[in-house]
Amino acid sequence: MPYAVPYMRFSFSRQGRGSSIERQEMMIGEWLGKHPEYTLYPKTYKDLGRSGFSGEHLKFGFGKMLKAIEDGLISSGDVILVEAFDRAGRLPPSDMFPILSGIVKAGVNIVTLDDGITYTLESVNNNHLFLLLAKIQQAHNYSSLLSDRIKKSYANRVDRAKAGEKVKVRTPIWLKDGELIEDLVPIIRQVFELWAEGVGAWSILKKIQDQHPALKKVNVSTISEWVRNKTAIGYWRDIPGVYPAVVDAELFYRANNRPVRSIPTRNPRKHFETGLIVCGVCGGNMVSKIDKLKSAKVVCGTRSRKGIDACSNSKNFPLDVFLYLITTTSTEAMQQALRRHQLSDSEKKAIVLRGKVDELGKQLSNLYKLAAINLTDELQQEIERKIFERDQAQVQIKALEVISSVNEDWGAAVEISDDMRIDEPERANALLRSVGYALKAFTNGTIEVPCKDINGIELNPCKYEGYSKRKDAYILSTGSGVLEILNFASKRHLATLEEY
């Protein structure tokens, strides 16, 4: 039984969010229903978001389909199903005709589903030849005309933007007709603040989604797109001042320079300890598990997922031990994290300048590529101007760093309560990870504690010695003596707690 081979393509990624792919799939399904003599080919060739005008699709889906024909995987008697002729490509006729001719010469027919025409070697050699040529020419001319219009429209928008006029383009959710939607502004600023602190996209989305009707259908990937979008500070492309800024430049660049390690892998709303306890052997995260006695244990996540060959750390620790240690030793790290986000004016200026240096570096990289092709006097002057701007910004950064180190004054110590850990566990977790706070657990029961406890006592070397049934307590030996962590889940201590 011959194969029917589907091929689908669209040029712009936004079409993937619309009906283009569904429409093509539906038409293929209808054709197969009317032609039961064909079997659906086990593979569908797709070029989603790839141009048929530039020939990009020849390197991917369409090109792979041509290779399958060449290798005989798609053979004589099979058919290729396309929605319309231009899906196969919009190349110039001199390039497109030989490709299609090669397909039908191999005995593989082409069916255009929009008009139901089947192109075979015989039909192309007869009455379909001129129709085929006309469709190729029409498809190419349409794309060529559209390309010219887009280029002219883009050039016009660039000129208007440089002149200080607003341009009509798709803008983020906080803009309407080029103006800020005021009730969304504080929410978007909250997104940037949380992202800068290291809170993950899922946690941010859950926090903001019920704050405004426009946010109900926001996708989690949109959060990171917002943070990277320079429209937030008024840019369109590389042109500043086109739109009103929803956040200041310091917050934008601070959010875009957050440490990669601060991105959580699990939701700290349920697991506050996520990322704060690491295996001292393999460096992976320790994870909590419930044992047969319904007691929470902490084990190496790498070993748990990949087996004993992945990590030799087989030690189980009670979760309560780590929660106690985090609660009593994280205050100093939390203060350090909060101070990092309470920046002096000089540090804020330095962050903006570093962002500018990065941008200039990217622009220079593009200019160098153009210069390698054709170095004109105008291009040379532009390169020299960008280099001068970058050097000036770097000099200013060094000066600001000196001022910051001399005048650093954080004022009174920041008071941290347990409220943040209870009410905002995602934020507390992200802040601690942003300064590298983590307890390290080793096979012999040793726990490396990164900070002194709340009373300034050094706990290292710290080792979990086991559980005392007589005292209903977890026993730790520390550099300052033996530490007993009461198990308040036990009947004895639970009764005491209730009386208290």
Task: Give the model's confidence band at 19: pLDDT under 50 very low, under 70 low, under 90 confident, else very high.
Answer: low
For tokens 């198990």, the residue is 487
**Are residues 193 and 208 in contact, defined by beta-carbon separation less than 8 angstroms?**
no
Task: Give the model's confidence band at 292: pLDDT under 50 very low, under 70 low, under 90 confident, else very high.
Answer: low
Q: How far is CA 475 from CA 201, 266, 324, 409, 482, in A?
A: 38, 29, 12, 40, 7
User: To 10 degrees, the CA torsion angle through 49, 156, 178, 188?
Assistant: 50
**Are residues 414 and 335 in contact, defined by beta-carbon separation less than 8 angstroms?**
yes
Dihedrals φ, ψ of 272, to 5°? -60, -30
pLDDT, position 130: 60
Beta carbons within 8 Å of 284's beta carbon, 6+ residues apart = 278, 300, 301, 302, 311
Beta carbons within 8 Å of 265's beta carbon, 6+ residues apart = 274, 275, 285
- DSSP three-state, residue 23: helix
- Please determine, for residue 453, whether its predicted confidence score (pLDDT) is greater than 70: yes
Pairing of strands 45-48, 39-40: unpaired
User: To 10 degrees, the CA torsion angle through 343, 349, 352, 354?
Assistant: -100
Cα dihedral sign, 151-154-160-162: negative
User: To 10 degrees, the CA torsion angle through 495, 496, 497, 499?
Assistant: 90
Cα dihedral sign, 458-463-467-468: negative
When pLDDT is averaged across residues 190-196 and rounded to a whole number, the result is: 90
**Are residues 248 and 255 in contact, defined by beta-carbon separation less than 8 angstroms?**
no
Beta carbons within 8 Å of 110's beta carbon, 6+ residues apart = 79, 80, 82, 88, 100, 103, 104, 118, 119
For tokens 């160098």, the residue is 368
Of these ranges, 55-64, 117-126, 155-164, the one predicted with the greatest mean pLDDT is 55-64
Q: Is the peptide bond before 42 cis (omega within 30 degrees of 0)?
A: no
Task: Give the model's confidence band at 500: pLDDT under 50 very low, under 70 low, under 90 confident, else very high.
Answer: very low
Of these ranges, 168-172, 226-230, 363-367, 426-430, the one predicted with the greatest mean pLDDT is 226-230
For tokens 């792919």, the residue is 21
For tokens 């706990």, the residue is 459
Task: Give the model's confidence band at 141: pLDDT under 50 very low, under 70 low, under 90 confident, else very high.
Answer: low
- One-letter identity of residue 112: T
Tell me the pLDDT tens digit for each residue of 74-93: 999 999 998 877 777 667 77
pLDDT, position 391: 85
Tell me the fold of 3-142. Answer: Rossmann fold (3.40.50)
Tell me the fold of 175-258. Answer: Hect, E3 ligase catalytic domain fold (3.90.1750)
Pick the more confident residue, 375 or 79: 79
When pLDDT is averaged across residues 5-15 and rounded to a whole number, the result is: 70
When pLDDT is averaged across residues 216-230 and rounded to a whole number, the result is: 91
pLDDT, position 409: 39
Task: Give the model's confidence band at 407: pLDDT under 50 very low, under 70 low, under 90 confident, else very high.
Answer: very low
Report percent pLDDT > 90 for the chain. 32
Cα dihedral sign, 90-92-97-98: negative
- Report the run of H or E that residue 278 belongs to, with start and end: strand 277-279
- d(Cα 421, Cα 425) in Å, to the nearest integer? 5
pLDDT, position 140: 52
Neighbour-count burial of 149, counting CB atoms closer than 10 A to its CB (0-12 exposed, 13-18 middle, 19+ buried): exposed
- Please determine, for residue 110, whether its predicted confidence score (pLDDT) is greater than 80: yes
- d(Cα 270, Cα 418) in Å, to the nearest integer? 16
Question: Over the chain, what is the mean pLDDT?
Answer: 80
- One-letter identity of residue 45: Y
**Are residues 303 and 286 in contact, defined by beta-carbon separation less than 8 angstroms?**
no
Task: Give the model's confidence band at 467: pLDDT under 50 very low, under 70 low, under 90 confident, else very high.
Answer: very high
Domain ranges of the chain: 3-142, 175-258, 277-335+417-499, 343-407
pLDDT, position 369: 79
Closest CA to 74 of 116, 38, 37, 103: 103
- d(Cα 131, Cα 310) in Å, to the nearest integer? 63
- d(Cα 142, Cα 149) in Å, to the nearest integer? 11
pLDDT, position 17: 45
Locate 500 and state its tokens: 């208290």
**To 5 degrees, how large is the angle CA 421–CA 422–CA 426?**
55
DSSP bridge pairs for 483 = 476
- One-letter identity of residue 8: M
Tell me the pLDDT tens digit for each residue of 244-276: 999 998 889 888 876 544 444 445 555 778 889
